Structure 1
């Protein structure tokens, strides 16, 4: 999602004209309760949590975007730095300028993969060994790209990433290699008003799902038998300011982080949606979301707070009601 104040103002104005597809509450909706902030971070030090992957013990691996770090935070709020991405002397990151760490994905053996966006040769996917250590670049992207959301298909040995600048989805061999454009289409593109298109990305039920921040949409791209991309389907609209998202485990029911309005939105399979967490619960420009069993995790980067920013990690309880 955009980190630029001018872009934020454009999207805020657009949001005022957008009618959200908020449907009536359903008895089958998962419920969210007991929200609490378990860790606060230092905005001045660049500790803005951008994306999240979960460990088997319930700890959260977070990318601290401007600090160029990957940090593990326990459910009690204790944190450990796992890796720091190398400093870039003159970053030329599209639409931002500063070098940032964006998406993160975890393999079953504990290996972490992160996207590093610099506008230089360092832009690409970096691998961090289990338990932390020195990052290694395994794929280089063109300097004018913005690899954002990231997911791994271990069965096929493939990483997928959403490119917010070019508005495409890339695939990369998980053991390293040349990136390939996997999916293209108008639905993935940014707009003139907001140059951040395809953003969050998840693998779910035989498809690659992508959020488009500029178009306020949640998209589904089927993975065909030959591993190529099928036709892009728009599954939800009116999600103004959508950043990353995840699935609740209830079919195609999703939870989407709406960064500008500091809301977490529950998105039903029919595309209708409702707000389940707000700034009153502790959200400060949430960027991503994750679910493990009955625990919900929401990192907030507080990118747009002008006074007393509070980047944080919020946990809540989520029901496991069947739809």
Structure 2
């Protein structure tokens, strides 16, 4: 059984200092989330703590199991198959964690998976490529003193964007090249003393890179500029008071579903920044880490890092319905 993750310990200790200021506005156009049910349970003792999610065209979910450093696929009936295991690291030194963990995942149209592997070691830390049915291979090294977390793939531009939770930057990685540059940086992306995890979840949406900052409790939008360099525009704060891990958009507009990892909640965040709770621990959430939306369904993986005393941790995948989006 892996030791209690240092990530979970750090967040649990600092949670008492964080207050979530939920918005009170109500919108008749809000999509509704209903009929939640847990479709798969995972083995906490084996490190099967689901951290991030990408969806297959048939609705199957590809998950990163953080502490097992695996990628697994969960089909629509809950059957789980391990697709790949990243190599063991002899002496991982991941900042804030101290263990090797698989974090973000993105899927290309041809089925290739790209996975962030945070190890704190020069040889393994970075973005790994997993071809369909193939063996994982390191595509691009990233600095060992960072923590690559959420990622998003822009296939048209051949770019992967990577949120670094320790360095507080967004990396730009060319697909197929062992190279990286800082695409965005600044105080808005940095961690805090209380919660030492800054830029975390990351999505591409409507001409911008959107990033959650766990430590600062914010949702950020960074416009992608024109031209061949696609430079980052000014960072915009779109919501506050949300100690979220990752998030997903409900449709073409800017409404978001956010996984509040400390609060065992799924929060609906409106374009004006107001927000409300739509799922809770009572529905099966146990430290939700990410969200995906597909074909009127919501997928929420829970890592169950902070199990109550005398209970068995229950990492799982929850599925719910979402109404037609009005945004």
The question of a shared fold, defined as TM-score above 0.5 by the shorter chain, is answered with yes
Note if 1:311 corresponds to 2:315.
Answer: yes
Written as runs of structure 1 = structure 2, the 5 A alignment for 1:145-294 is 145-226=146-227, 227-239=230-242, 241-294=243-296
> Once the 2 structures are TM-superposed, how far is the Cα of residue 195 of structure 1 from its aligned partner?
1.2
Does the 8 A contact of 1:2 with 1:196 survive in 2? no
> Once the 2 structures are TM-superposed, how far is the Cα of residue 2 of structure 1 from its aligned partner?
6.9
Taking only aligned residues, the RMSD between alpha carbons, in angstroms, comes to 1.2
Q: Secondary structure at the match of 1:257?
A: strand
How many residue pairs match? The answer is 318
Whole-angstrom CA distance in 1 between matches of 2:252 and 2:183: 27
Q: Secondary structure at the match of 1:120?
A: coil
> Once the 2 structures are TM-superposed, how far is the Cα of residue 7 of structure 1 from its aligned partner?
3.4
Seen in structure 2, the aligned counterparts of structure 1 residues 2 and 53 have a Cα distance that, compared at 3 Å, is: farther
Whole-angstrom CA distance in 2 between matches of 1:19 and 1:246: 19
Runs of 5+ unmatched residues, structure 2: none
Whole-angstrom CA distance in 1 between matches of 2:20 and 2:73: 38
Who is 1:69 aligned against? 70
Written as runs of structure 1 = structure 2, the 5 A alignment for 1:32-71 is 32-71=33-72
Q: String of CA shifts for 1:117-169, please: whole Å, max 9, x gaps.
A: 00002000000002x32100000011101000000000000000000000000
Does the 8 A contact of 2:6 with 2:98 survive in 1? no
Moved >4 Å (runs of 4+) = none
Q: String of CA shifts for 1:33-62, please: whole Å, max 9, x gaps.
A: 000000000000000000000000000000
Runs of 5+ unmatched residues, structure 1: none
Seen in structure 2, the aligned counterparts of structure 1 residues 19 and 291 have a Cα distance that, compared at 3 Å, is: closer
Whole-angstrom CA distance in 2 between matches of 1:269 and 1:280: 27
Does the 8 A contact of 2:202 with 2:212 survive in 1? yes
Does the 8 A contact of 1:2 with 1:8 survive in 2? no
